[in-house]
Amino acid sequence: MTKKSSSSTNSVQQNNEKEESLIQKASGLFQRVPILKALFIEILSGQGLATLLNVLFVTKLSETLPDDSMRAGWMGKFFASINVVAMCLQFGVIPRVMPYLEPRTLWRFMPTTMVVALTYLCLNENPSLHLISGSFMLFKVMEFSIRRMLDEMVYVPLDFESRFLGKEIISVFGYRFGKSGMSLALSGLTSVYGNFGLQQLSFLTGGAACLWMSSAWNVSNRVLSRAEAESLYQAKQQEAAGNRK
């Protein structure tokens, strides 16, 4: 028993030291590479918005379809539709239009579209299931087909250490803290003010969309244009060729 307790204590201490070390690395990395800090904040706000949209969607679906089997079938078809639309955009549409668009344009397009859609949603006192599910689908389709591609484009111009460490930090903290943090905040608000109605949830979701737009706009101001990325690539190629000589 003593050996087991001591080994578990050592394991907890090692995990805590690892987390503290990662936090210190993140702080230094964000100071050195500001665009990764902007991306981290954008992911926090984006995942918070995703959590609120999911809560709004599940709440309305439960009200509209109280039968568990019907609700499960409807949800299965809904997420299958998201995957099909996202796949068509990712492999059929996006590759054809990307040569004509700057990445910063797409960074600004996504949250602006969501703010417009959710503003209309907020104007409805009792929004329909199709209206709520349409907004949720819009976000998920853009996330799967556009946003993750833009994430990778942010990492491409960075050096190996920044790229490797940035992905580790953002995958460990950004996505998890964004969802869990919003869930905790929503639980806290519910415990203080009681359960929210659909319109109140719509207002919270609209506010989260505005925060996401602000953070995504900040990222868009920092990403390289195509010309800048090409110049940087050529400079790195020349530097590598000079080192080989």
Nearest to 159 by CA among 242, 241, 232: 232
pLDDT in tens, 189-201: 787 777 788 888 8
Token pair belonging to 20: 């503290």
Higher pLDDT, 117 or 4: 117
H-state helical runs in 65-102: 68-88, 94-97
Q: Which CATH architecture is the domain 37-244 placed in?
A: Up-down Bundle (1.20)
What pTM does this model have?
0.84
Output the pLDDT for position 240: 65
Cα gap 48→42, rounded to integer Å: 10
Q: What is the CA angle 182-186-189, rounded to 5?
A: 140
Quick one: pLDDT band at residue 13, thresholds 50, 70, 90? low
* Mean pLDDT across the chain: 84
Output the pLDDT for position 157: 83
Quick one: pLDDT band at residue 15, thresholds 50, 70, 90? low
Task: Give the SS3 label for residue 114.
Answer: helix
